[in-house]
Amino acid sequence: MILVTGGTGLLGSHLLFQLAQQDSQIRALYRDESRLKHVKRLFHYYNFEEAELLFKKIHWVKGDINNIVELDDAMDGIDFVYHCAGFVSFEGRDFKQLIKINREGTANIVNCSLEKRIKKLCHVSSTAAIGVEKDGHTSEETVWKNGKETSGYSVSKYSAEKEVWRGIEEGLTAVIVNPCVIFGAGYWDESSLSIFRTVNSGLRFFTDGSNSFVDARDVADIMIQLMKSPIKSERFLCTGENITFKELISKIAIGLNKRPPFINTPKWLAGMAWRIAYIGAVLSNIKPTITRDSANSSFKKISYNSRKIQQALNFKFRSINQTIENTIKGRLD
């Protein structure tokens, strides 16, 4: 019996689709019933003929990882846990919620897994929980450091990962995946896919930063392979292709038949933009479209070395072009 947390999210829904195609008993946690239809629509996108049958293989349980009673009930009889649930925000005012969901929620998963003696846990961490090399080339061995530009999200994901390592020390069999920015079929109002909506509306600006982007299908596939393997007590970067933001936005724009960005944004202008957005958000009581952390991140030149997972599983990532094409074709909203 398999339990998936965060099953209604971008990665979780892709994971559930792949698991449902196998002979597995699946239980999935959800908090908002309205989001179940999102998962069903994703199933229809990838396999229209068998979508209903595959979706019915999942036993949905309403529950919250921060509710010990609900979590304890949900994990009864479970052998394997895929912990995808998490909260993403780069707003300073969300720090307490980030810690509550990402660190404390993960601690609850770990504690319950130890108590229930589950066979294996796969924890979805993030590249945000891994340090950054000065030359921008980062691996699993890069040490995370807290600094003045470290986001609250990064702190929460690093803290969550520490809970998993603590569980491993106490006898838990577990693996950790550290994906970068994930793209895939889904709703463009979700955090990582919002860039597609922005570009589709017409984006003239770009910054000099770079990062890695990975296909949700690849991350889900890696997680399943790791859980079926004897590999344990390891973490793996799941990063597809290293690419500059200008190149990424240009590829998305071309895929959407839009004009690629042509104005290089200076850092001072980005600094002004997030300040204006913050003031507007406070006055309107809405979330800002850009924050200080997201503005700073857009200028960082980061690249990741995913050789470890490629060698461990003989895995080949999809190209960024394939990922962008699928994300555009699979728009569900």
pLDDT tens column, 171-197: 999 999 999 999 999 999 887 898 899
Dihedral sign of CA atoms 169, 158, 75, 82 in order: negative
Higher pLDDT: 280 or 223? It is: 223
The answer, yes or no, to whether residue 293 has pLDDT greater than 70, is no
CB 175 within 8 A of CB 283: no
The answer, yes or no, to whether residue 37 has pLDDT greater than 50, is yes
Looking at residue 301, the DSSP 8-state letter turns out to be: B
Q: What is the pLDDT of residue 277?
A: 47
Tell me the domain boundaries of the chain: 2-201+211-248+303-329
How far is CA 173 from each of CA 120, 155, 167, rounded to the nearest angstrom? 5, 24, 8
DSSP letters for 38-76: HHHHHHHHH-TTTHHHHHHTEEEEE--TT-HHHHHHHTT
| The CATH number, out of the four listed (3.20.20.80, 3.40.50.720, 2.60.120.460, 3.40.50.10800), of the domain defined by the range 2-201+211-248+303-329 | 3.40.50.720
Mean pLDDT of the chain: 90
Instruction: Report the range of poorest mean pLDDT among 165-169, 217-221, 259-263, 284-288.
Output: 284-288
The answer, yes or no, to whether residue 215 has pLDDT greater than 90, is yes
How far is CA 161 from each of CA 32, 238, 256, 265, rounded to the nearest angstrom? 26, 15, 37, 34
List the Cα angle 85/231/214 in 5-degree steps.
Answer: 50
**Tokens 């080949």 map to which residue?**
316
CA nearest neighbour of 42 among 79, 72, 15:
15
Tell me the whole-structure pTM to 2 decimals: 0.92
